[in-house]
Amino acid sequence: MYKIYFEDRVIVISSEKSNTNNNINEKFIHYKSKKSFYKALKEFKKNTKITKLFIQTDKPKKVFKQLKKKFKIIKAAGGLVFNNHNNVLMIRRNGIWDLPKGKIEKGEKKAEAAIREVEEECGISSLFIGNEIGKTYHTFVFRGKNMFKTTYWFLMKYGEDEELIPQTEENITEVMWKSPAEVKKIIPTTHKSLVDILNEV
């Protein structure tokens, strides 16, 4: 199953059945052809009242690739970072609590980019990186172009006690350690694409 976020709205591509028929703001379609799929995608982008478009298909990976062809692709990486007290490292960017992440540079491996971005955005070092725990997908418009961002998330551990320094040039105003209880309160107000990752806390 793939979840692609358009701000707070989502397209789900899955081989499973959906229960979206109970909500007038959610639309369900069976994939029939590329043409009909692109028509549904165009309608979804135009009609912002549709909060969820569920596409059922026997070949979700194929349909996912067809969707991506409509966008310029960007790859990013970030971290779900825990300290010795089991608190989570979070940043406040543009007024919204978020996880540290950023674009993967040319020639850079995903894990390398994830560590670099956490260090740059939070002002810390000596991170231990674990396994990749998931991917998130979201779209946005940048300079008139439709962009599709895949973010690779890694579990990280931090055992030092450095001062947290927000990377203000990236519009980050705060960096804080949040308890699991605080993270749960933040989930309803953060980006929808982060919910599955934060539910790991």
**Residue ranges per domain, the chain?**
2-68, 73-198
Backbone φ and ψ of 142, nearest 5°: -130, 115
Global pTM reads 0.92
Residue 20 has pLDDT above 70, yes or no: no
Mean pLDDT of 63-77: 96
For residue 137, give every residue at least 6 positions away whose Cβ sits within 8 Å of its Cβ, in sequence order, or none: 2, 3, 4, 5, 148, 149, 150, 151, 193
HEC profile for the chain? CEEEEECCEEEEEECCCCCHHHCCCEEEEECCCHHHHHHHHHHHHHCCCCCEEEEECCCHHHHHHHHHCCCEEEEEEEEEEECCCCCEEEEEECCEEECCEEECCCCCCHHHHHHHHHHHHHCCCCEEEEEEEEEEEEEEEECCEEEEEEEEEEEEEECCCCCCCCCHHHCEEEEEEECHHHHHHHHHHCCHHHHHHHCCC
The alpha-carbon radius of gyration of the chain (Å, integer) is 18
**Residue 33 confidence (pLDDT):** 93
User: What's the chain's average pLDDT?
Assistant: 94
Beta bridge pairs of residue 77: 102, 152
**Is it true that domain 73-198 has CATH number 1.10.10.60?**
no
pLDDT in tens, 42-66: 999 999 999 999 999 999 999 999 9
**Residue 164 confidence (pLDDT):** 97
